[in-house]
Amino acid sequence: MTIIFDMHSVLQLKAGLAMELKQLQYFMAICEELHFTRAAEKMGVSPPNISQQIRRLEEELGVLLFDRVGKSIVLTEAGSILHEHGAAVFGHLQQASDAIADLKQMQGGSLSIGVLPGDADLLFNALLLNFHQTYPTISLSLLETMKVTEQVLDRSIDVGVTIGPVTDGRLTSIPLFQEEFSLAVSINDPLAAECFIPLNRLDALKMVMFPPDHQYRKLIDRFCMDSGFTLKPHMVMTTLPSILQMVQSGVGTCVLPRMLLHNISNPNIKVVHLRNPTPSLDICLIYRRDRYVGYAMRLFIKTLKAYIENAITSMWR
């Protein structure tokens, strides 16, 4: 359907710019829920109240914003236009609020960071200690979660470090590094004399691994299946310290990120590189495209990039 705006319609639209912000909030809530009662509950008002406000908004704009089809509602073309621009309005308001808060805090601020389970040991324990010592007025919180992307999107965390590529248009994604995986073995294991082994040799080894839903386990399982075999772990452990203890004790071997093993630097564990192929994945940093990148986040991103660069350089010496 094509809408042709004459001069009268344009004047009506200009008059509609005087709409109340509360009306726009109600409208956006209905767009999210596609249900007047649920939107009213979300906004803490009665259904008749929210319906009345939307009718007033439609009268001010001179167009219908929703088509009522039985008990269902859908956005009209005009409604879709208002929804797009309404999202931009609230995005800019949030950025303004964040920028003002950042200005008031000056050299301080706070930042919540989401990482995948296990990555705190890989990068962040030492990084956060160094960051705090350098910038003691900035408060940081670290959350290990399997839902990094979802929690960045719903704003429950400010920034996330996760597996790429991330293609959601609502997010800004900054590539950090390619994470390669190696085999961890006891120093007393005959394999400790090897510099590298082909991936398919894992099929004959006793393996200590994370559960099937862990991101490291999923990666290794996929690479092994692509190479024509399926790993059957000798032991499944849920935490990194317990896995490392089993490896150190000679119970089995485990495939872990090379950088993690380098950072741990356990004298009782030898790192054996995997070849043909080498399991790897891309790691990136993400945050909402519409959020204000404040002082704390800018410093954290800068510090994280430098930390990773130094860690990679040290690992390959």
d(CA 113, CA 310): 21
d(CA 194, CA 214): 28
What is the tens place of the pLDDT at every residue in 80-100?
A: 888 888 888 888 777 777 666
The reply to whether 215 and 307 lie within a common domain is: yes
Mean local confidence (pLDDT), 251-277: 90
The reply to whether 94 and 143 lie within a common domain is: no
Q: Sign (positive/negative) of CA torsion 218, 223, 229, 233?
A: negative
With a cut of 80, say whether residue 227 has pLDDT above it.
yes
In single-letter form, the type of residue at position 250 comes to: G
Highest mean pLDDT among 8-12, 92-96, 138-142, 192-196: 192-196
The reply to whether 80 and 166 lie within a common domain is: no
Report CA-CA distances (Å) from 141 to 11, 203, 261, 279.
50, 40, 24, 30
Could you tell me the CATH number of the domain that includes residue 50? 1.10.10.10
Query: Which of these, 152, 127, 146, lies nearest to 260 by C-alpha position?
Result: 127
Tell whether pTM > 0.95.
no
DSSP characters for 127-164?
Answer: HHHHHHHH-TTEEEEEEE-S-HHHHHHTTSSSEEEEES
Mean local confidence (pLDDT), 21-49: 88
Identify the residue whose tokens are 């994280």. Answer: 304
Q: What's the domain range around 175? A: 107-317
- The residue from 56, 82, 102 where one domain ends is 102
Overall number of domains in the chain: 2
Counting residues of the chain whose pLDDT is more than 90, the rounded percentage is 35
What is the tens place of the pLDDT at every residue in 234-246?
A: 999 988 889 999 9
- The residue from 50, 78, 102 where one domain ends is 102
Burial of residue 69, with CB atoms counted within 10 A of its CB: 0-12 exposed, 13-18 middle, 19 or more buried? exposed
DSSP characters for 167-210?
Answer: --TTEEEEEEEEEEEEEEEETTSGGGG-SEEEGGGGGGS-BEE-
